[in-house]
Amino acid sequence: MLVKVAAGDTLGRLTVLEGRMGPRQPGPLPHVHEGHDETFVLVEGRLRFRVGNGFHTAVAGETVFAGRRLAHGFGNPFDEPARYIAILTPSGYEDYFDEVAEHAARTGSLPGEALTRELMARHRTVLAPPLPDPGAAPPPEVDAGS
């Protein structure tokens, strides 16, 4: 995540981030923010979003809005990379990304689910219950042998 417009530039009203997601990356676990809204503008590639109880594949040029208190998440199940702009209103959640980056730099890996829950809670966010994506590719069949 690259900060394009920082909270200090807007008196805390909004933050603009640029994100990149490689092919076949699962993305963040579905979650719910209490304190801010997020708007995603897809610049390149495709991403699969969950917003509320719905799922949508967004393509370059599309915008997806995830309001506060609404479960959302996204990932890149496709073979090409994706790039997006995320607009957070108001600012503040970029501090969560700083904590994740600090952990990754210190340990060489992203936080596990327990630490993710702890970090999110510090920023008024909780993980959402999982919801199966009806548009997701089925898992590959396993040949049980003859």
Cis amide linkage into residue 138, ω under 30° from 0: no
CATH architecture of residue range(s) 2-93: Sandwich (2.60)
Burial of residue 53, with CB atoms counted within 10 A of its CB: 0-12 exposed, 13-18 middle, 19 or more buried: exposed
Residue 139 scores a pLDDT above 70 = no
Residue 141 scores a pLDDT above 70 = no
> pLDDT tens digit string along 48-70?
999 999 999 999 999 999 999 99
**20 Cβ neighbours under 8 A, 6+ residues apart:** 81, 82, 83, 84
- Helix, strand, coil share of the chain (percent; to 5): 20, 40, 45
Structure tokens at 121: 């809670």
Q: Per-residue confidence at 135, pLDDT binned at 50, 70, 90?
A: confident
Backbone conformation region of residue 16, classed left if phi is above 0, alpha if psi is from -120 to 50, else beta: beta
The whole-model pTM stands at: 0.88
Query: For residue 138, what pLDDT is reported?
Result: 57
Q: Per-residue confidence at 14, pLDDT binned at 50, 70, 90?
A: very high
Nearest Cα neighbor of 38 from 13, 62, 64 is 64
Residue 88 scores a pLDDT above 50 = yes
